[in-house]
Amino acid sequence: MAEVRSRATTAGEPAQPGPAAGTAHPERAPALSRWRRVARELGLLALVAIVYEEIAAHLVQAGSVAASNALLVVGAERSLGLFDERAVQAAFLHQDTLTDAFNAYYGGTHFLVPAFVLGWLLWRHPGQYGRARTALVVTSAVAFLIFWLFPVAPPRLLPAHFGIVDMLRAPDGSGHIESTLITTAGDRYASMPSVHVAWAVWCALALWPVVRPRILRVLVVAYPLMTILVVVVTGNHYFLDTIAGAALAVGTWIAVTRIGAWWSVRRAFQRGTVPREHRPCRLSAGAGGGSSPGPHRR
């Protein structure tokens, strides 16, 4: 074969180009496509952040409305027997090291952990990324809409007679070191629902299908539980906020999953590639007046 190929080339016939001649660096194509997707996803998340900042700027002027709505939340919790934020906070109030750690946790994990989960899914589990990203964006969008329509002041901003301490301030009136983290972690009147809890629950839902070691699964479940404790102890959220945040994350995840499955089957129908188990059957009349199931044919 080598001799025949050599003779053909000598006779003037053009040699067939090899892989290097057709594509200079074929191995770079998948990497380039992946980085383009990363850039596109970062742009989408940046857009979400811009919308949130616009809403936060609008709600700066909603102090009186937010205070009034906070009293509505307190009244609802009292009627349900849930207004125990003061008791939970009191159990940790005089443990300065622990409360400082809680403040740092509140301000530091809110953006970092979801960003890490998104990046890890996109890089290591791209098949799971689309649903997770969509669920996070929809969860955030619904929460932003609620903030706009129903701003609520957090427990730490309630009148003093409620007895809930503002963890942003030390007993001597000076601010904690973590106050910058907390004030930049979100809008001060975006209490209902708790986005901290919603995003923490989203992290657990996104990681659970792709995490196998038992210790990691324990951490996945512990993260939203720890977040609920922290947001209550620091006086940043009511119990109803945490319930609403968790319900929003779970409800959105279920909706996105079901809509995604329906859309996949619909596209498969349009392409004619529907698996047999998803094809509807119809009854066709037999010669003896009976009926027999037959596959659906387009």
- pLDDT, residue 87, reads 92
Residues counted in the chain: 298
- pLDDT, residue 46, reads 75
Find the angle CA(265)-CA(141)-CA(209) to the nearest 5 degrees: 50
Q: Which residue has the tokens 């190929």?
A: 5
Do residues 194 and 244 lie in contact, with contact meaning Cβ atoms separated by under 8 Å? yes
| Structural domain includes residue 11 | no
153 SS3 class: coil
| Structural domain includes residue 46 | yes
- pLDDT, residue 71, reads 95
Provide the 8-state DSSP code for 169: B
Do residues 164 and 89 lie in contact, with contact meaning Cβ atoms separated by under 8 Å? yes
- pLDDT, residue 5, reads 47
Mean pLDDT of each 10-residue bin along the chain, 298 residues long: 47 48 50 67 72 64 82 95 92 86 88 90 88 92 90 91 80 47 60 94 95 93 96 93 96 91 69 57 46 48
Q: How far is CA 276 from CA 172, 247, 258, 298, in A?
A: 71, 36, 20, 14
When divided into structural domains, the chain yields a total of 1
| Structural domain includes residue 223 | yes
Do residues 164 and 153 lie in contact, with contact meaning Cβ atoms separated by under 8 Å? no
Choose among 41, 60, 201: nearest CA to 120. Answer: 41
Amino acid identity, position 41: E
Q: What is the pTM of this model?
A: 0.73
- pLDDT, residue 292, reads 47
- pLDDT, residue 99, reads 85
Q: Which domain holds residue 110?
A: 38-165+175-265
**φ, ψ (nearest 5 deg) of residue 167:** -70, -10
Q: Give the whole-angstrom CA distance, residue 199 versus residue 109.
A: 10
| Structural domain includes residue 203 | yes
| Structural domain includes residue 235 | yes
- pLDDT, residue 68, reads 92
- pLDDT, residue 167, reads 79
Q: Give the whole-angstrom CA distance, residue 161 versus residue 164.
A: 8
